[in-house]
Amino acid sequence: MSDKIKVAAPLVILHGDEMAQVAFERILETFVTSRLDIDLVEIDLTAENRLITNGQAVIDAIEALNRHGVGVKNAGMTVNREQRDALLAVHPELEAGSLHPLATKSPNGAIRKGIGGNITREDIEFRNLKVDTPQWIGRDIEVETMDTGGTKDSYNALSSATGIVKLLFVGASGDPVELHRREVNKGDPWLLATNDIDTVRAWAHRFFQRAIDEKRDIYLGLKDTVIAGYDGVMRAAIEDIYRAHYQQQAESLGLAYHYELIDAQAARLVANPPERALWGVPDNNTGRKLYKLVQQLKRYGIPERKAQVSISRMSAGGGDQYGSYNMPATEDGILKVVVDGDEKHARHVKQGDPILLMSNDRAAIKDWVLQVFRDASRKDKEVYFGLKREYMDYDEVFSDVITEARRELAKADTPPPSFMIMRPSSQLIKMITDPPRNALYPAQNLDGDIFSDISAALGGSLATASSIIESKNGTMLFEAPHGTAHDLYLKYLESDGKEAHFNSSALIYAVANALETLAEREANAALADYAGRLKEALIGTVGDGIVTGDLKGKTTDPATETVVDMHGFLDAVAARLSA
C-alpha cells in the first residue's frame, strides 16, 4: 500500500525554459510525484514548443487551467527576432509569415487574459534575510525621457455605449483601411497613442550625445518584446542611431551601453545603482515616474525595509498596453478612431510612426478592485492605489469603480480596508522610500510589472518573492516572478551540468501554494499539513544559513552561511522536510 498522500484533483503544470526548467523538473520529482498520489496535467510551454504548435500550446494551457482550476507555471523565454529566426532555422517546415502571435510572443498576457486573472506579488517571509540597502545618496544618475508623444499626448475617452471601436487609416489612396477593431462595453476606457518617429530619432541623438558629453554609461529601457509594434519600433530606431553615430565614440571613452526590458532594468538600477549613468526611458509616462523616483533616491536614499510589500497588478480585462494593437504606420496618412459609426478622433501620422490602441474592461476593473480589497482585508493590509486622474479619463474610471466597490462593500457590512489614491509616481516613491507597516500597492499592467520587479529586487532576489494569479471564477495560477536565468543556463550547459547555480525558492513556494489551495478545496488535511511543512522546510533551510550564491552575505549572520548550488539547496530542503 502506497504511503503517498492521495490528492483527488489534478494539478496543471506549465513547463518553461532554460535553468528555471532544470530546477522545476527536480522540484516536481523531489516534492510532488515522489510524495503525492496526484494527477499532473502537464503542458509544454517552452519557446520551441509554442513555435512548433503555432501557439496551440498556450491555448491548451488556458483550457487546462479553466477546466481544473489550480496550476503552477514555470518561467518561459520571450523570444526576440534573432531568437525566433534561430528557432525557425531549426524548423524549416515553419513559415514566419504564417505564425500566430501566440507562437512567438510572451504567453503570460494571453494566459492571464484567458483565465481573467490579476497578479499579486509579495515577499516570501524569510526570517533571517537582511538585504543591504543600496547606497543611493549622491549617486550621479540621470533619467532622460521624451517630453511629448505617447500616453501623455494620447486621446483617451470612456465608451458612451456598448459597441465596436475601429481604428481606420486613410493613406495615399484616399480609401479608409480598417487596421483593427475591438468590442467595448459602456463605460470601458480606450486610448490611442502615437509617437513621431522623427521626434524619437531626434531624442536619441540628444540622449547619446549627452551621455558622451557627460561621460556616462548608457542605459536604455523599453518593453519591446510585448509591445513590439510600438516600443520595439522605437528601440530599433534608437539603436540604429547609436550604432551609426555614437557606438565608436562611446566605446573609445570606455562607456558601456546596456539595453534591457524596462521592468528588469528598473529593478537592476534601483537595487544595484551604478556610480554614474544616463538612463533613457523614451516612454514619457514611465520615464516621468522613474525620473521622480531617481531624484528622490539621490536625495534621501532607500530606507531599510521593515515590512512586507505586495503588488496587485491589473492584468485581466483589456490588458492595457499588453493587450493593445501596436504597429508602425506603413505610409503617411490619417488615423481615425470610430465608435459605432461616429468618428471620435483623428490625427496625422507618418510612415514608421508607432501606433498603439488599447482599452480595458470596466467590469474587469471592478472585479480587480474587489479582489484588492478582499486580499487586503484578509491580510490586514493598507491599500495605496496609483492613478493619473488629472488628465486621464482612462484612469478616472478606476477611481469611479473604487468608489462604487467601496459603497457596495459598505452596504454588505464589509467595509474595505484603509486605502488612499495617489499619482503613480507618488505610489512608486512611497513603496520604495516610505513603505508602511504592511501594504498592498495596486497598479495597472505595465506599471505593475515595473513596480513588482523593483520591489522583488529590493527584497534581495527575484527568487524571494511569490506570484499569485487569481481569477473571478476561482482559477488560481502560481508562479515565480523571475525569468529563465539564461546566463546561468549557459554555464550549466558549458559545464555539462556540473555548474547548477539557481535559487529555486520561488518555484518551491509556488508549488507549495498550489498544493495548499488544492488542500483547501478538497478539505484534505494531510495535503494541507504537507504544503505547510514544505513552506516551513524552505524557510527553515534559509534560516539555518543554507543559501544559494545570490543570497551570499544577505543573512543576518553571514559568518555561519553555507553556500550551496541548486542541487545542494534542494537536497537540504528535502532533508529538512523528511526530518
SS (H, E, C) 416-473: CCCEEEECHHHHHHHHHHCCCCCEEEEEEHHHHHHHHHHHHHHCCCHHHEEEEEEECC
pLDDT at 76: 93
Read off the pLDDT of residues 535-575 as tens digits, 9 standing for 90 and up: 999 999 999 999 999 899 889 899 999 999 999 999 999 99
pLDDT at 391: 65
pLDDT at 564: 97
pLDDT at 98: 84
Whole-number Å distance between alpha carbons of 485 and 483: 6
Print pLDDT tens along the chain (579 aa). Answer: 578 999 999 999 999 999 999 999 999 999 999 999 999 999 999 999 999 999 999 999 999 999 999 999 999 988 877 888 888 888 888 887 788 889 888 898 889 889 988 888 888 888 888 877 889 998 999 999 999 998 889 999 999 889 999 999 999 999 999 999 999 999 999 999 999 999 999 999 999 999 999 999 999 999 998 899 999 999 999 999 999 999 999 999 999 999 999 999 999 999 999 999 999 999 999 999 999 999 999 999 988 777 677 889 887 666 688 889 999 999 999 999 999 889 999 999 999 999 999 999 999 899 999 989 988 888 888 999 998 876 678 888 999 999 999 888 888 888 888 999 999 999 999 989 887 678 899 998 889 889 888 887 887 667 888 889 988 888 999 999 888 998 999 999 999 999 999 999 999 999 999 999 999 999 999 999 999 999 999 999 999 999 999 899 889 899 999 999 999 999 999 999 998
pLDDT at 346: 97
Whole-number Å distance between alpha carbons of 510 and 530: 14
The β-bridge relationship of strands 40-44 and 11-15 is parallel
Residues 6 or more apart in contact with residue 406 via CB below 8 angstroms: 373, 415, 416
What is the pTM for the complete model shown?
Answer: 0.82
- Distance from chain centroid for Cα 362: 22
Which residues, listed in sequence order, are joined to residue 327 by a DSSP beta bridge?
Answer: 355
Whole-number Å distance between alpha carbons of 293 and 279: 12
pLDDT at 570: 98
pLDDT at 50: 94
Residue 315, CB half-sphere, CA atoms under 13 Å: how many?
A: 28
pLDDT at 318: 60
pLDDT at 59: 97
Whole-number Å distance between alpha carbons of 481 and 462: 6
Residue 76, CB half-sphere, CA atoms under 13 Å: how many?
A: 29
- How far, CA to CA in Å, does 382 sit from each of 121, 222, 265, 379, 446? 15, 31, 28, 9, 22
Whole-number Å distance between alpha carbons of 380 and 376: 6
pLDDT at 561: 96
pLDDT at 507: 97
